[in-house]
Chain A
Amino acid sequence: MLTLDAVDAGFGRALVLRGLSFRARPSEVTCVMGRNGAGKTTMLRAIMGQVPVSAGRITLDGQRIETLAPHLIPQLGVGYVPQGRRLFGSLTVAENLDIGLMTRGRGRATRDRVLDLFPRLRERLGQTAATLSGGEQQMLAIARALCLEPKVILLDEPTEGLQPSMIAAIRDTVRTLRGMGVAVVLVEQRAEAVLDLADRVAFVETGRVAEMVPAADLGPEAPQFARYVGV
């Protein structure tokens, strides 16, 4: 389980997260919603050690991780797919996956399992990442993170700008990951996507989680969507 307890994080005196507390459990999809600038991406970046944490603690299965060097956090089993995908554009699909596999010494069996989730990538192993479509690039970004066999995966708006068929494929993947016991943290802005996928929803406002609600308690017209997201 990934836990954030009263975390302050930001850059110098400019705190973005202010006493933020959050939990992501195995076999659950926890969606994170909030307006632009609320602190959603900063929360993910703080978990990954990319934004300094000045107070509070972040733990993974009881082990503190906010004190670790950033490169050690993925080695413990935290996968991160940032907004904008950020692939190694001049490397092939296979080479991108290899970089993910090497992190925790995973081999062919892991790669095959990951490619079973994304058959389209299997057909494009020799193609350079920069030449893939937007949806395929997103699939590759997720596939590369899955090569770490993560306990927790952080997805920052993975369906943004994609066509409907790709969005459906990525949502299917999120459900599969939940079935595999992975704790999925999904930053998402669309209420219908959240209601379709989430087990719990964290509404973030001004750097803290204002409400954490079971998704089953939310309907399409739930007031939280208007209050915290503006939809």
Chain B
Amino acid sequence: MRMLALHLGVLAVLAAAQFLLPAYHHTNAARIMVLAVYAIGYNIAFGYTGLLSLGHALFFAAGMYATGLLVDRGGEPWLALLAGLVAGGAVAGAVGLLALRTAGPAFMIVTLMFAQAFHLAILYWGGFTGGDEGFTLSGAARRLGPLDLADPTTRYFVALALVSVAMLGTLALVRSRLGRVLVAVRENEERTRMLGYDTFRAKLLALMLSGLASGAAGSTYGLMFGYVGGSFAAIQYSILPLIWVLMGGAGTVLGPLLGTALMFYLIDLSSSVTTASQAVVGAALIGLILFAPRGILGTLRERGLRGLP
């Protein structure tokens, strides 16, 4: 109960921040919250199940393109949003059926190859996808019923709703039977199988849930910021959620949000004082590995906050 209160408290602070933060930060915060949903999805696969994927940009971009292409051609935005969710989960399921027959470095390479193939396909069929330049979405395409996603306040609260669902959903997952099996798979897959669990099925479900969240994030991101582009399918977008999760704490519910926010503002603030902002990010990551190898919340959990999910 205390842990649920903690997470609800964090969401309440985020809701209050909309009224307290200067306008400049509203868009930043909305962007962080949507990207945090992507990181939360990545965390289900990596943090809880131990699946180190280098191809999650595929699921993010699948959601974004499914939604973007549909609304761009006059589709109903709500249905397009739903299609984005389904695309993320379905593509993850299809990739998982093949990739999960491998493990460790082979799994990383296979997922990376799938994502690269999708990225190249976007570039190759540029006439349909917009290629590297991508395409923008009109104002009408970004209206979810009465919700105008071009409006910063609406955008903020839609992002907050999405991150709330993702965060509380993860909390419920972690406490569920499936969640406990996923953690057992992460700890020792063979032993979990010898205790009577179909570990392939558990990992596939984890990857699909992860893809669903990633697809939801990609879909919402496209609608909120009005742009769909090939760069979101590039390898950089597969590495970013890994860094966010590692920074906040893999296998913690709040870690992805914290990691995404810290990394976003680290780049934002450092780039305002130096052109070598990536060097600052690199130094921060080295510091993290040296002093908090389990990420910020992972280290706090290790040092006393034992009940942190």
Interface residues on A, range: 20 to 34
Q: How many residues of B are in contact with the other chain, CB < 8 A?
A: 18
Tell which of B190, B195, B306 touches A103, judged by Cβ atoms closer than 8 Å.
Answer: B195
Q: A88-B187, A88-B188 are in contact. Are A98 and B180 (CB under 8 A)?
A: yes
A90 touching B187, Cβ below 8 Å: yes
Is B150 among interface residues, defined by CB-CB distance under 8 A? no
**A48-B194, A80-B194, A88-B191 given as contacts; is B180 within 8 A of A102 (CB)?**
yes
Chain A CB within 8 A of B136 CB: no
Contact with A along B172-196 (1 / 0, CB 8 A): 0000010011011001101111111
Interface-side segment among A35-43, A70-78, A168-176, A211-219: A70-78
**Contacting pair B187 A103 (CB below 8 A):** no
B198 at the A interface (CB under 8 A): yes
Partner of B195 from the list A69, A89, A95, A99 (CB cut-off 8 Å) is A99
Q: How far, in whole Å, are A74 and B190 apart by their CA atoms in the complex?
A: 13
By a CB distance below 8 angstroms, the chain B residues around A74 are 194-196
Residues from chain A with a CB closer than 8 A to the CB of B116 are: none
Task: Report which of B183, B184, B194 forms a contact with A70, defined as CB distance below 8 A.
Answer: B194
Is B231 engaged at the interface, CB distance under 8 Å to the other chain? Answer: no
Kindly supply a per-residue 1/0 record for chain B positions 187-216, scoring 1 wherever the CB is within 8 Å of any chain A CB and 0 otherwise.
Answer: 110111111111100000000000000000
Residues of A within 8 A of B194 (CB): 48, 50, 70, 74, 80, 82
Hey, which bits of chain A sit against chain B, CB under 8 A?
Answer: 48, 50, 69-75, 80, 82, 86-91, 95, 98-100, 102-104, 126, 144-145, 148
Q: List 17 A-B contacts (CB under 8 A).
A: A70-B193, A71-B197, A72-B196, A74-B194, A74-B195, A80-B194, A82-B191, A82-B194, A86-B191, A89-B187, A95-B180, A99-B181, A99-B195, A103-B195, A104-B196, A126-B306, A144-B195
